[in-house]
Amino acid sequence: MGAQQTMTLIPGSHPAQELKKRVLESSCYGFRTMHLTPSQRHARNQFIRAYDILNSGCELYSAHDIMTWLMGLLDQFFFFGAMTPLWKKNPGNEMDWLHLRLSEESEIESVGILGYYDNVNLRITLLTRVWGTNVPSTLDMLLGTLCHEMTHAFLGIFHDPNQSLYEEVEADELHGTVFLELCSAIQDTVRGWSPNLMSLYYDGEATWMPRDDAPFIIDNTFIPLSSIEGWDPDYAGWKDPKAGRCRKGGPRKAAKKVEFYQPSLLD
């Protein structure tokens, strides 16, 4: 294993362009796949395995616990493990870190949304029903949305508005140019991890269509969609490609310094 350079991420201190560059160079560019850190490889392998298990409908585990764990794996792979306590020796109070809740209800009234990020409480909410409908959110929608909200969280925590252009992060309800480029690259990278993951929700593709047989969550449990008697995906409106947008979170919160390892080309 090659030497790793210790770097520091400081909340509210980085130009958005620098954050984007670091994530892309350490995790998203295909030609660097050989240079992933051991923890990145581990996180990727665990994620692929978990997705395949969940695809068969997993009634053994809490959907919240599994999604929280997957969030930690995505953090480890894309965001230097800077946002979640997974694998930290002394994680402290979990509320000090990015955390997740699953909810049928939204605190935000915005038709069609699947999730949102709260920058005050460092919390991502994923909706198990598309807001304003009875349409269940499937695993593919939830994981694609999780990538989207984690991108909000990463930029929200670490970018410095004074060193970033308004159009890069803040514009269009926090869906600025840097956000969209980073979010699409992350979702696209996850989609490339296995043929099965190609059905993950993707912000960068207007023609994205959900598959009809993806599992969804009911009573904190993943269930195969096909197990619902009389389920008709066309009737339920799943074909609407506009579903899945999110809304911006609240004002920024002063968080702590985070040490992380910059993956080395020699690794």
Piece of 98-106, 157-165, 202-210, 240-248 that binds Zn ion (CB under 5 A):
240-248
Closer Cβ to Zn ion, 16 or 246, answer by number = 246
**What is the chain's length?**
267
Determine the residue with CB nearest Zn ion.
246
156 and 7 in contact (C-beta within 8 Å)?
A: no
32 and 267 in contact (C-beta within 8 Å)?
A: no
Exposed, middle or buried: residue 88 (CB in 10 Å: 0-12, 13-18, 19+)? exposed
Size of site (CB under 5 A) for Zn ion: 1
Q: Distance of alpha carbon 68 from its chain centroid, rounded?
A: 10
Give CA–CA dist 98/85, Å, rounded.
8
Q: Exposure string (b/e) for 2-21, b if CB count within 10 Å is 16 or more?
A: eeeeeeebebbebbbbbbbe
Min dist CB 84 to Zn ion, Å, is: 19
Piece of 72-80, 125-133, 225-233, 244-252 that binds Zn ion (CB under 5 A):
244-252
Give CA–CA dist 178/85, Å, rounded.
26
Piece of 25-33, 34-42, 69-77, 238-246 that binds Zn ion (CB under 5 A):
238-246
User: Mask 123-152, x = binds Zn ion (CB under 5 A)?
Assistant: ------------------------------
Min dist CB 116 to Zn ion, Å, is: 7
Q: At what angle do helices 177-191 and 139-158 cross, to 10 degrees?
A: 140
Q: Is 246 in the site for Zn ion (CB under 5 A)?
A: yes
Piece of 42-50, 59-67, 136-144, 239-247 that binds Zn ion (CB under 5 A):
239-247
Min dist CB 20 to Zn ion, Å, is: 16
Closer Cβ to Zn ion, 52 or 205, answer by number = 205
C-alpha dihedral sign at 174, 178, 181, 184 = negative
Min dist CB 187 to Zn ion, Å, is: 12
Q: Which residues contribute to the site for Zn ion (CB under 5 A)?
A: 246
